[in-house]
Amino acid sequence: MKARTGGTPELLPPPPALYARLLEEALHEDLGTGGDVTSDAVVPAGARCRARIIARQDGRVAGGGIACEVFQRLDGTLRCEIVARDGADIAVGEIVLALAGRARPILAGERVALNLLAHLSGIATLTRSYVRAVEGAGVRITDTRKTTPGLRALEKYAVRCGGGSNHRFSLDGAVLIKDNHLALAGSLAAAVERARRSAGHAVKIEVEVETLGDLEEALAAGADAVLLDNMDPATLRQAVELVRGRVITEASGGVTLDNVQAVAGSGVDFISVGALTHSAPAMDLSLEIEPSD
């Protein structure tokens, strides 16, 4: 079978070091100390099968290679063919993965593989919806750090599969001065000055602002980017006019599929959406098995 590809640029999955322990712990959690007692009791040890993971809804695929790794951790001789590559759009009834080999390891890995593949594909599918909603507006949809603990590398990869961009991966990735920092720093200007001294000239400093007055203060303090927090589209347009391209603008807070077009119409550079990772519904997938020689 020829692998089905999508319209997104080449996607580089995260390095295995960022998720290998996750797969190990997920399998241990599901198999417990006794393994798959049902399959071991019912399925002959030498039984072989062919299996397919099939889409039960339209969507965008993410995590096919991760799902293959789950099965191959249980049996390195299993053949796992990626039919729909990450970033590909897929319709109901189409095949995502095809497996062949010993039946027991396939059954044992089914739930962990499906959980991860469905979750990541759900994120990619929701991200695709946001990206399509703002197509032509010249704005980029980006994620946040509102990810499932332990799954950040995979969830942010799924966002890229959906055509979105990644914000900072972790707290050490960039300086982002938010309201709670400002509450403790004394003033916005003081916070930016301290950040600049600490981070050095090569690091960009972003400041969260809630009003146009805050925005003017951030610009005067020398911020490189501003996060326009919970502003309505009309205020966002005023903010963009005030900035006049001098710094990067990011809209955040309260963004939904219903209002993202209006937010994009304000002219901001980025729209960050926490829902991409914390509220995406899992894609409906199933594994179907048939015996083989």
Q: Is the pLDDT of residue 137 over 90?
A: yes
Task: Count structural domains, the chain.
Answer: 2
The answer to whether residue 208 is catalytic is yes
Range of the domain at 119: 16-132+280-292
- Tokens standing for 283? 């894609």
The answer to whether residue 56 is catalytic is no
Q: How confident is the model at residue 86 (pLDDT cuts 50, 70, 90)?
A: very high
pLDDT at 4: 56
Active-site residue, selected from the candidate residues 56, 132, 178, 246 = 178
Note whether 243 and 263 are within 8 A (CB): no
Give percent above pLDDT 70 in the chain: 97
Active-site residue, selected from the candidate residues 4, 48, 111, 194 = 111
Active-site residue, selected from the candidate residues 36, 86, 208, 269 = 208
Average pLDDT of the chain is 94
pLDDT at 2: 45
The answer to whether residue 146 is catalytic is yes
Half-sphere exposure of 284 (CA within 13 A, CB side): 6
Q: How confident is the model at residue 3 (pLDDT cuts 50, 70, 90)?
A: low
Task: Indicate whether 185 belongs to any domain.
Answer: yes
Using CA atoms, how far apart are residues 176 and 105, in angstroms rounded to an integer?
A: 45
Residues 103, 117 within the same domain: yes
Helix boundaries (H) for 149-211: 152-161, 179-185, 188-199
Give percent above pLDDT 90 in the chain: 90
Using CA atoms, how far apart are residues 98 and 100, in angstroms rounded to an integer?
A: 7
pLDDT at 10: 62
Residues 153, 205 within the same domain: yes
User: What is the model's pTM?
Assistant: 0.94
Q: With DSSP H G I counted as helix, E B as strand and the rest as coil, what are the percentages for the chain, rounded to 5? A: 40, 20, 40
Note whether 124 and 59 are within 8 A (CB): yes
Task: Indicate whether 106 belongs to any domain.
Answer: yes
CATH of the domain at 247: 3.20.20.70
CATH of the domain at 70: 3.90.1170.20
Q: Is the pLDDT of residue 15 over 90?
A: yes
Question: What 8-state DSSP symbol labels residue 140?
Answer: E
pLDDT (tens digit per residue) in 268-279: 999 999 999 999
pLDDT (tens digit per residue) in 279-291: 999 999 999 999 9
Active-site residue, selected from the candidate residues 146, 194, 196, 237 = 146
Task: Indicate whether 9 belongs to any domain.
Answer: no
Q: How confident is the model at residue 41 (pLDDT cuts 50, 70, 90)?
A: very high
pLDDT at 1: 43
Residues 285, 245 within the same domain: no
Q: Is the pLDDT of residue 9 over 80?
A: no
Burial (CB count within 10 angstroms: exposed 0-12, middle 13-18, buried 19+), residue 111:
middle
> CA triplet 66, 68, 69: central angle to 5 degrees?
65
Using CA atoms, how far apart are residues 116 and 17, in angstroms rounded to an integer?
A: 17
Instruction: Tell me the backbone φ, ψ of residue 17, rounded to 5 degrees.
Output: -60, -25
CA distances from 172 to 14, 23, 169, 182, 277 (A): 18, 25, 8, 18, 20
Task: Indicate whether 4 belongs to any domain.
Answer: no
Q: Is the pLDDT of residue 140 over 90?
A: yes
The answer to whether residue 111 is catalytic is yes
Residues 202, 106 within the same domain: no
Residues 68, 128 within the same domain: yes
The answer to whether residue 179 is catalytic is no
pLDDT at 270: 98
Task: Indicate whether 7 belongs to any domain.
Answer: no
Residues 147, 269 within the same domain: yes
